[in-house]
């Protein structure tokens, strides 16, 4: 019966409607906002380090208001939003349920939860958009990407565990925030998640991770140590980034142990 249902869904996506294509693309792109937030936070952390090293903060070179906002205020909002989702995912992994945000159990989308999802989604989208635009305008991506890990290279196993944790966190972000908003906008009712949507998100996340995220995200975990060794001031954002990295690794370890246990059973 399950195979018959999946076969039917497959043929529905072989000949999709314009609304179905729009839903799939929108859902996938908005879901990628979370892993993009990790990448942006790592990039901004690296930019702050380079600016401190080159003493550009004390120079007469003017910075645009957008870049100043992105470098000093934007990361704080991103850290808060990403921390909320990460904590919710960790709670789900440890207890089997989410207490911060309740998943809808009927076809009717609860209005308070929907309003919360709209606020979180729009805030994260604005922060990521401004962060990327401000970084590009200031030439942040002109730094040598070969120095992104600051000489500290994690093992392949560590990277895979982090990817598992990031995938699980992205799934929670998708179910709790993205899907209610997109469902309400496109269809007006709650829809069950389909396997094609999971495949699209997993493939997009894997591509992003392989293209850039797997190396640059490690800045979050090494930055505090690098600044400490070089006798620079370790900021709160550096500590929060370090904490977020290991929370995600913990989620990945929990997910990996669960999958291994289910495989043995």
- Distances from the Cα of 156 to the Cαs of 147, 214, 261, in angstroms? 18, 10, 22
Token pair of 118, please? 């709209």
Distance CA 140, CA 46 (A): 9
Please, are residues 219 and 42 in contact by the beta-carbon 8 Å criterion?
yes
Kindly list the distances between the CA atom of residue 211 and the CA atoms of 21, 62, 130, 177, 206, in Å, as whole numbers in the listed order: 25, 32, 22, 26, 8
Contact 166, 250 (CB under 8 A): no
pLDDT number for residue 214: 86
How would residue 197 be classed by pLDDT, with cut points 50, 70 and 90? confident
Q: How large is the C-alpha radius of gyration of the chain?
A: 20
Say if residue 133's pLDDT is above 60.
yes
Give the tens place of pLDDT for each residue, 50-103: 777 765 445 545 566 667 777 778 889 999 999 999 999 999 888 876 544 555
Give pLDDT tens digits for 11-55. Answer: 555 456 788 888 999 999 999 999 999 999 998 888 888 777 765
Q: Are 249 and 218 in contact (CB under 8 A)?
A: no
Domain locations along the chain: 30-54+63-260
Distance between CA atoms of residues 125 and 131, nearest Å = 10
Read off the pLDDT of residues 134-182 as tens digits, 9 standing for 90 and up: 777 766 665 554 455 565 667 788 889 999 999 999 999 999 999 999 9
Q: What pLDDT does residue 245 have?
A: 95
- Contact residues for 110 (Cβ-Cβ < 8 A; gap 6+): 102, 104
Which of the pair, 108 or 24, is modelled with greater confidence? 24
Q: What are the percentages of helix, strand and coil residues in the chain, rounded to 5?
A: 80, 0, 20
Q: What pLDDT does residue 72 have?
A: 78
Q: How far apart are CA 200 and CA 206, in angstroms?
A: 10
């Amino acid at each position: 019966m399950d195979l018959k249902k999946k076969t039917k869904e497959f043929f529905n996506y072989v000949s999709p409607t314009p609304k179905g294509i729009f839903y799939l693309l929108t859902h996938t792109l908005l879901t990628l906002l979370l892993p993009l937030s990790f990448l942006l936070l790592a990039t901004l952390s690296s930019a702050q380090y380079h600016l401190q090293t080159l003493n550009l903060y004390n120079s007469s070179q003017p910075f645009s208001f957008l870049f100043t906002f992105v470098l000093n205020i934007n990361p704080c909002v991103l850290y808060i939003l990403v921390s909320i989702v990460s904590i919710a995912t960790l709670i789900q992994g440890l207890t089997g349920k989410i207490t911060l945000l309740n998943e809808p159990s009927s076809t009717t989308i609860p209005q308070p939860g929907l309003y919360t999802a709209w606020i979180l989604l729009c805030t994260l989208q604005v922060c990521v958009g401004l962060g990327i635009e401000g970084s590009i305008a200031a030439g942040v991506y002109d730094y040598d990407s070969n120095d992104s890990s600051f000489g500290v290279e994690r093992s392949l196993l560590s990277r895979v565990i982090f990817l598992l944790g990031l995938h699980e966190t992205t799934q929670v972000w998708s179910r709790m925030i993205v899907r209610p908003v997109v469902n309400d906008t496109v269809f007006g009712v709650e829809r069950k998640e389909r396997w094609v949507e999971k495949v699209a998100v997993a493939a997009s996340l894997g591509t992003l991770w392989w293209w850039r995220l797997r190396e640059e995200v490690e800045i979050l975990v090494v930055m505090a140590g690098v600044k400490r060794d070089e006798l620079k001031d370790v900021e709160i954002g550096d500590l929060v980034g370090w904490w977020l990295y290991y929370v995600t690794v913990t989620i990945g370890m929990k997910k990996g142990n669960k999958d291994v246990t289910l495989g043995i059973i």
